[in-house]
């Protein structure tokens, strides 16, 4: 049985926006826990004294609600449930399945004492008519699969490194965590998620005809997590594999669609000296390393890239804006910034080898802006302060402590 994990950081965000005149839109890759988050939040509301009559829940992937897949039907159903003298909390799961849903939501938003919460598995919903009609009237909460801290609650493994190895190899989709001891079922489940995203959230949503091309581009990104790539580089590679007429523009469109489905995240390169974003050779990270491993038959080409992917997801989970740093001819894995601080971060599985240590630290040289320079590794030694004021932290310690960067 799946163990329900209270997704506290996401729950706290919903609570913060409760009864504010903003539509709360929870986005994220399929099966990352959006529906469960609604269930957790509804339980919270009930614990606060909210009655069943004040809660309207609709799941537009459930056949029980199949008659609500057009804007008028959805609007009338919810409007008939609204209370005049009390707050009504409206939850609509996978709202993008309703044709012209933005018209229904725009109208419901005008009703007094109506608190609206939506989930969606495609970022396109926030770049279309809904965003135009409700500009400045919605807040997006981007949800990811389990963090390592949450994963640690879900599995019965005591030793931290053993638990981390499971996390790195098997991934962190909430239900998948309960299937780890059934490896075949676990792999089939991940394969199902991956294919559903490609078919429902990309091929069908964008009316694309070339499934083989889409799968090949997605596979290329999965193989090259942590490597700088460009649409032209991908197109050139695919041409050698039989896609003779493919163009960089077509690949660029497909890359955009894969990111809109939250399967991959694009990270831009920033020139630290020139203080500008670069137009080429960005990096892509997958929303869950378990998906990547399942597609690659658990063939780990470069373990540091998997660790890098995990660190990236944790940084955005904590609310950091993340870029790749270019420091002259050197590259810094991440520049992470929030409203308070910025950090330069290198990720390496180990720097116990002096040559590897020199390679990683050289990326920080000649940067004198005062930001902390941090190396995240799997090394177990206790030293956190290195030469030139550079800092080092164990990856497990970083993942389990939300304030780990600030306290270094």
Taking the C-alpha atoms of residue 61 and residue 100, their distance in angstroms, rounded to an integer, is 16
Domains in the chain: how many in total? 1
For residue 335, is it within any domain? no
Taking the C-alpha atoms of residue 269 and residue 281, their distance in angstroms, rounded to an integer, is 7
> How many other CB atoms are found less than 10 A from the CB of residue 62?
14
What global pTM score does this model have? 0.94
For residue 249, is it within any domain? no
Q: Is 44 left (phi over 0), alpha (psi -120 to 50) or beta?
A: alpha
For residue 18, is it within any domain? yes
pLDDT tens track for 201-245: 898 888 888 899 999 999 999 999 999 999 999 999 999 999 999
What is the CATH number for 38? 3.40.50.300
For residue 239, is it within any domain? no
Structural contact between residues 71 and 99, judged by C-beta atoms closer than 8 angstroms: yes
pLDDT category, 408, cuts 50, 70, 90? confident
For residue 360, is it within any domain? no
DSSP 252-295: HHHHHHHHHTTSEEEE-EEETTTTEE-SS-BEEEES-HHHHHHH
Q: What is the average pLDDT score of the chain?
A: 92
For residue 164, is it within any domain? no
- The range of the structural domain enclosing residue 107 comes to 8-142
Helix %, strand %, coil % of the chain (to 5): 45, 20, 35
Alpha-helix residue ranges (DSSP H) falling in 23-100 = 34-47, 71-79
Closest CA to 393 of 343, 403, 402, 380: 380
Q: Where are the beta strands (DSSP E) in 287-371?
A: 321-327, 330-337, 342-347
What is the percent of the chain where pLDDT is above 70? 97
User: Which tokens sit at 195?
Assistant: 């294919």
Taking the C-alpha atoms of residue 51 and residue 35, their distance in angstroms, rounded to an integer, is 20
pLDDT at residue 128 is higher than 90: no
pLDDT at residue 124 is higher than 90: no
Strand, helix or coil for residue 232:
helix
pLDDT tens track for 152-197: 998 989 899 999 999 998 899 999 888 877 777 788 999 999 999 9
pLDDT at residue 8 is higher than 80: yes
Taking the C-alpha atoms of residue 317 and residue 399, their distance in angstroms, rounded to an integer, is 11
For residue 39, is it within any domain? yes
Closest CA to 150 of 309, 312, 30, 9: 9
> In this predicted structure, what is the pLDDT of residue 129?
65
For residue 130, is it within any domain? yes
Rounded to 10 degrees, what is the CA torsion of 14, 18, 21, 27? 20
Determine the distance from the C-alpha atom of residue 134 to the mean position of all C-alpha atoms in its chain, rounded to a whole number. Answer: 24
pLDDT at residue 311 is higher than 90: yes
> In this predicted structure, what is the pLDDT of residue 300?
61
Taking the C-alpha atoms of residue 395 and residue 348, their distance in angstroms, rounded to an integer, is 9
pLDDT at residue 57 is higher than 90: yes
């Amino acid at each position: 049985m799946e163990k329900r994990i209270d997704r506290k950081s996401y729950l706290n965000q919903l609570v913060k926006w409760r009864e504010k005149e903003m539509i709360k839109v929870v986005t994220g890759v399929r099966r990352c826990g959006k529906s469960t988050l609604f269930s957790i939040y509804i339980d919270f509301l009930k614990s606060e004294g909210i009655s069943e009559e004040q809660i309207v829940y609709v799941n537009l992937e459930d056949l029980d609600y199949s008659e609500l897949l057009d804007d008028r039907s959805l609007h009338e159903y919810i409007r008939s449930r609204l209370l005049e003298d009390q707050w009504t909390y409206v939850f609509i799961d996978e709202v993008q399945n309703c044709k012209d849903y933005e018209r229904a939501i725009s109208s419901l938003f005008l009703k007094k004492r109506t608190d609206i919460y939506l989930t969606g598995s495609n970022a396109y919903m926030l770049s279309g008519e809904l965003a135009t009609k409700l500009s400045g009237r919605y807040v997006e909460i981007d949800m990811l699969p389990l963090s390592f801290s949450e994963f640690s609650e879900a599995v019965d493994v005591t030793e931290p490194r053993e638990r981390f190895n499971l996390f790195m190899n098997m991934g962190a989709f909430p239900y998948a965590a309960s299937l780890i001891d059934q490896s075949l079922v676990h792999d089939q489940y991940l394969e199902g998620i991956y294919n559903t995203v490609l078919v429902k959230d990309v091929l069908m949503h964008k009316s694309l005809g070339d499934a083989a091309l889409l799968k090949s581009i997605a596979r290329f990104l999965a193989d090259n997590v942590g490597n700088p790539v460009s649409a032209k580089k991908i197109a050139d590679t695919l041409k050698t594999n039989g896609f003779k007429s493919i163009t960089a523009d077509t690949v660029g469109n497909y890359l955009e669609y894969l990111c809109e489905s939250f399967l991959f995240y694009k990270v831009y390169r920033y020139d630290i000296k020139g203080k500008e974003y670069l137009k080429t050779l960005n990096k892509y990270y997958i929303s869950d390393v378990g998906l990547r491993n399942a597609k690659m038959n658990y063939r780990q080409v470069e373990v540091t890239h998997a660790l890098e992917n995990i660190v990236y997801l944790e940084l955005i989970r904590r609310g950091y804006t993340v870029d790749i740093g270019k420091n002259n001819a050197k590259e810094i894995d991440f520049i992470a910034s929030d409203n308070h601080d910025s950090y330069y971060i290198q990720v390496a599985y180990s720097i116990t080898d002096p040559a590897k240590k020199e390679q990683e630290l050289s990326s920080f040289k000649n940067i004198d802006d005062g930001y902390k320079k941090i190396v995240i590794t799997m090394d177990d030694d206790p030293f956190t302060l290195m030469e030139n004021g550079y800092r080092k932290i164990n990856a497990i310690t970083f993942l389990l402590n939300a304030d780990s960067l600030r306290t270094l």
